[in-house]
A and B are shown apart, each in its own frame.
Chain A
Amino acid sequence: MNLTTRTSADGKALTIQIKGKFDFNLVQSFRQAYAQIDNGTNKVIVDLRETDYMDSSALGMLLNMKKTLEDKVAVFEITNCQPQLKKILQISRFDKKFDIS
């Protein structure tokens, strides 16, 4: 599975980790990853530590997620980006909508 979801021990953070490539092939599973989000969760972390590739469809999925969850979740993080992916996110001005590290 190229996508794994984990909730932190205190239930407050949902982590979605993507392996390999983050593109339209993940449209369904990415949406499912946050569809059942707990009411107590106030932070979503998209962990790209093992993501090598992403394209604009991934950007679309991230924006869709934010739109869907905006009322429930306070913080959206995209973490552990490899340098080129971080640059893609910056070029796309995602740093205004997500905490990118």
Chain B
Amino acid sequence: MAAHVLIVDDQALNRILLSQMLNDEGYQVSMAFNGQEAIKVLEHEAIDIVLLDVIMPVMDGFETAKIIKNNHSDVYLPIIFITSLDDKASFEKCLEVGGDDFIHKPFDKVILNAKIKAHRRTRELSKKANQQKQLLEYHHNQIEREHEIVEHIFNNSLENQDGFKQHLDFNLSPASMFNGDMFLVAQSPIGNLYCMLGDFTGHGLAAAIGALPVSRAFYTMVNKGKAVNDIAFELNTLLYNLLPGHMFCAATIVELSASGKSISAWLGGLPDAYLIDSEGNIKKTLESQHMALGILDKHEFEYDLIHFEVNSDTRLVLATDGIIETTNKQDDFFAEDRFIATLQSKPMITCEDIIAHVSDFAQGLQQQDDVSIVLLNCLPLPMEEKPREPFSTLAFNLSLSLNSKQIKQTDPVYDIVNILSRIEGLNDHRSNIFLLLSEAYNNSLDHGVLGLDSAIKLQEDGFFKFYEMREKAISELKDAMIIIDIRYCPDTLSLHFMICDSGRGFSSQSNDVMSANNEFGRGLSLLEEIAEKVTYNASGNQVEMCYKLI
């Protein structure tokens, strides 16, 4: 595109001469009669070069040049002063106010053209530089904004590590804004405490990003009370599918039982963990057993756990390699020996103490990697009382009559418990409901309908023989019926069960004879303990049970 030149001169002759020359060279030309007008033109038109006279009415060239340079500071806008050769005194002033060059009267076409070309090139370079600067600024702002958002998400998804103050002391020092190390804590419904320390390849955002899906999956699995190797398996699959080939996550996942007496751990690729006493003496060194998460395919995954007993005097120490690989000015590593000595340097040492030792050692050298350390005190965990679900106020009856075909093909106890579990308030009782129904139903089926004798169980291997006979008897079963009737009374908060079979009945008295140690008496005595009341009819083919929900 042709350069756009603005001629600012109060003398018509100069304007005409210059515009003629410029037009001949194919430039686009605009004109102004004085400085003020020139400034206006510059506001509306994309001018590339200004040819500026010095002496003009209204606003002279010196003042105009200052204003133009001030208004157009982003991109180089060349100002070429129109002067007389003999007016050398004003040259200096022209440069002072921001002039870039001179063109002398009388005008020489070749010189004018050469000067315009040269300044235009500089302007084009300046334009490009400015565009790049803007682009950089845009990207910089964009990244800052994205970092803020990501930081917010990280904080929200990783924040809930603050509980368990008695049990946990930990310190995570990232080498940059985002941490490639990750520490997760959660408690399962039965009260076990789970911790996971992970170290993704590298550091910074690229390393930290994996923490998001991992934390999600971890919390979900803990909430289901999964074993640590099952959690490790899930996380491994997740990361194997998610991370690029050169990235992985070294991790230790531990589960402290609610009693505080035992720990199971899956150790994949982190430095040694230590079990110490309150004095810091090493009682056990736990070496990594497996490859880091995200390396092995599903079918190659290794499940092996380690189990060990702990007590309230024991502490588990987990750390990422940032600690032992910290270097000093002599290029020595902090290393395991110093780490172990640090643990023993003080009873009940804290993470803060350990970090202080490590940074003393580093002699002020900048931290190269994320540094994380966790101290887990092996104490029992208080169980939170879960708020009980309110009970449904709707009374109902559930009746089933099972014929021999249904007895053969279905698992009515399990199905009924599943149905009842969905009633508000009954889910908390599902294990007991299962036990009552299972005992009563199997009693009716095994002894009433099938006529099997529990005494078989007393023989050598009788337990298994009994279930083989039972299977055979069921497959041959004909013309039988078991009726199950369940009644829920919201007023008394009780469940009433009636189970009746088409068999010849059994003698309930015989139950008293059986000692609780016998294989077969156990079921019926359990019924008596769990249910409020258990009654049999005279012929022994019907049992009624009342179960109190509170």
Contacts and interface: CB of A to CB of B under 8 A. Distances in A.
Interface in B210-239: 224-227, 229
Contacts of B529: 91
B391 interface: no
Contacts, number: 106
Nearest to B421: A52
A44 to B, nearest CB: 11
Contact of A52 (B430, B442, B523): B430
Contact of A6 (B257, B303, B464): B303
Please indicate which of the listed interface residues A13, A55, A85, A91 has the most CB atoms of chain B within 10 Å of its own CB.
Answer: A55
A91 B526 contact: yes
Interface in A55-101: 55-57, 59-61, 63-64, 79-85, 88, 91-93, 101
A10 B258 CA distance: 24
Contacts of A56: 439, 522-523, 526
A54 B261 CA distance: 25
A27 interface: yes
B484 to A, nearest CB: 16
Contacts of A45: 307
B190, B192, B224, B470 pick with most chain A CB within 10 angstroms: B190
Contact of B519 (A50, A63, A80): A63
Given A13-B307, A59-B522, A91-B529, A21 B414 contact: yes
Contacts of A21: 414, 434
Interface string B156-197: 000000000000000000000000000000001110100000
Interface string B446-486: 00000000000100000110010010000000000000000
B227 A49 contact: yes
A53 B435 contact: yes
B502 interface: no
Nearest to B428: A84
Contact of B225 (A6, A31, A53, A80): A80
10 contacts: A6-B303, A9-B304, A27-B467, A52-B434, A55-B434, A56-B526, A83-B190, A84-B429, A84-B431, A88-B526
